[in-house]
Amino acid sequence: CTDFQTANFLRGSKLKVQFLLFTSSSPSCGELILPDDSIENYSFNSSLDTKIIIHGFRALGTKPSWIEGLVRAILHTSQVNVIAVDWVHGSTGAYPSAVENVTRLALSISQFISKLLALGVSGTSIHIIGVSLGAHVGGLVGHFHGGRLGRITGI
């Protein structure tokens, strides 16, 4: 299992994005998707819908306490892939620093989604769920994909 990173708000705000895959067979154990690896090397099922969760600002560099509950709730009610985007390092510290990272994070997530689309995943099967500042990121990702993603929910 891979968990969210912990950041120190005094050490700057490098982005250090991680994508953690959760499935119904591993609802509490995130599988770290390495950036240079193909998604085919993981338990990702391209025939299922995909939910991408993006957290917001993390003042103290801690994991969002609500993320595990949301992942479990989604997987309890739906047979889907859930990908939690861990950007704790880039979302920690002063709020303006986190805001400065929004565009780079959105580009990183967009590149990840482009890899999924290249494997035949339908854009309409992708649902982005952004919380707080993560909702702004989700909107930007949708913009980068020309409005061709299935759904974006901002909370």
3-state secondary structure of 39: helix
Q: What is the pLDDT of residues 15-47, one digit of tens each?
A: 899 999 999 999 999 999 988 888 888 999 999
pTM of the entire structure? 0.93
Domains in the chain (CATH in brackets) are 18-154 (3.40.50.1820)
The residues of the chain scoring below 70 in pLDDT are 7-13
Tokens found for residue 150: 């299935």
Contact partners, residue 41, CB within 8 Å, separation at least 6: none
Backbone angles phi, psi at 72, to 5 degrees: -60, -40
Tokens found for residue 84: 């939690």
